[in-house]
Every structure is written in C-alpha cells, then in structure tokens.
Amino acid sequence: MVKFNGITDIFFDLDHTLWDFQKNSALTFDFLLKKYQINIDLNKFLNIYIPINFSYWKLYRDEKITKEFLRYNRLKSSFEKLNISLSDDVINKIADDYVISLPVNNFLIKDTILVLDYLRNKYRLHIITNGFTEVQNKKIVNSQIKKYFHSIIDSETVGVKKPNIKIFDYALRVSGAGSKNSLMIGDNLEADILGALNAGFHAIHFNNNNETPHEYCLILNELKSLMKCL
C-alpha cells in the first residue's frame, strides 16, 4: 500500500464519498413518489433518473446550465422517459421538496466515522463539495460530521465547481494549506481527482461508482483502506 508522507491537510468530497447520496436520495424519492401519488416502482424510477441526473450534473459542473435548470429538468426528463405526465407546477413542487427533504436522511458511507476519528488527530480535515450551500450544510450538520472539519468549501459560495482550479486554490487560501501538503479524496475522477492533481494536490480516488481503472493516482474501493496509507 502506498504511504503518503508530508501531508498536513486532507480534503474530502462529500456526496458519494462520505455522505451516502445514493441511499439517501432513494429514501427521499420513495417518500416523494408516495406523497405526490405517482404510481411507479421506486427502482424503475431510479434506474431512469440516476443516469439522467448524472448527465445534468455534468452539464452543471461544466457551467453549461443553471441550478434551476438542473433541478427542474432532471425530473421532467425522467418523468417524460417514463411516460408519466405531470404539470410544470407539480414538477417544480417535487424539485423544491426533494431539496428540502434530502438532508432529512443522513446515512453515511460505510466506515466514515471510523476513518474520520482515525484521521482527525493526525491531519486537518476539510470538505470541498460541488453541492448547493444550504443543502450541503444541512447534510453535514444533520449527519453529525461537522465537528471533524476545519473548513467546508462549496461551489455555490466560490462561484465555480470542481474540477475548476479556482475552487481548489480558494480551498488552499481558506484553509491555509499548501498544495504539496494537501490530499484530495473523492469519488469522481474528473471533478475530484483530475481537478485536484491539476491544482498541485495529491489525490486518492475512492472508486465508489465503479469508474474505469486508471493510473492517475491510488484507487481505493473501501474508505477504511485509507487507514493503511495515512
């Protein structure tokens, strides 16, 4: 196992890395489909929604669409593909309700607390997330992990998203860390890993989404494996 020496600051992604977005989102949609009396199997809905949401998030990450466009159209596109007819008003209500309800569920990725407890006395810990400020803050507070982090940087506050080098530079300024002594841990190759490497960080890819293997950095499939290299 590769050992990382000289690291003082560790920056984590939030969704899919520490906060179990997939599970929490599924629970939220289970609640919303019932609330709005949409008669469709949850798994059937998620099988359509998840790749559509991923594609819209990529457009949002690349600064090609707005937050409002993302929130509305990922749902509209999903319901259209499922041949479910809903008014624009209902879709907008579901979109707003989803953002409000999502942080109510706060399952963490397996071994998150174990790893954070192990790292907190050895390094300064931070978060860099592409999520929306209010929602991400609620996730962090409600899941009781805020106490572990010296700084929390979100793309909405900074005005740019990972992999834009500006958000990594901003994180260094806010944290007082140096890039050569900083390590980024995240699940997305493009946003987290390549973004961090381009900013001079070290990186570890927590491959939680079954992405294609690569040689850019160390790849781990379990969070607890961090305890062997840090």
Q: What is the pLDDT of residue 214?
A: 97
* C-alpha torsion sign, points 201, 207, 208, 211: positive
Q: Which residue has better confidence, 154 or 2?
A: 154
Q: What percent of the chain has pLDDT over 70?
A: 100
| Nearest residue to 94 (alpha-carbon basis) of 70, 75, 73 | 75
2-24 mean pLDDT: 96
6-21 mean pLDDT: 98
The structure tokens listed for 64 are 């090609």
The structure tokens listed for 182 are 């900083």
Q: What is the pLDDT of residue 136?
A: 96
The structure tokens listed for 148 are 């572990």
pLDDT at 210 over 90: no
Q: What is the pLDDT of residue 8?
A: 98
pLDDT at 1 over 80: no
**Per-residue pLDDT tens over the stretch 122-140:** 999 999 999 889 999 999 9
With cut-offs at 50, 70 and 90, classify the pLDDT of residue 209: confident
**Per-residue pLDDT tens over the stretch 42-83:** 999 999 999 999 999 999 999 999 999 999 999 999 999 999
pLDDT at 201 over 80: yes
pLDDT at 160 over 80: yes
d(CA 135, CA 212): 30
Q: What is the pLDDT of residue 131?
A: 87
Mean pLDDT of the chain: 96
Q: What is the pLDDT of residue 182?
A: 98
Q: How far is CA 215 from CA 42, 97, 194, 199, in A?
A: 37, 41, 11, 18
Query: DSSP assignment of 134-196, as one string?
Result: HHHHHHHHHTT-GGG-SEEEEHHHHSS-TT-HHHHHHHHHHHT--GGGEEEEES-IIIIIIHH
**Could you give all domains of the chain from N- to C-terminal order, each with its CATH number?**
9-20+108-229 (3.40.50.1000), 22-104 (1.10.150.240)
Helix axes 21-35, 42-61, angle to 10 degrees: 120
Q: What is the pLDDT of residue 113?
A: 98
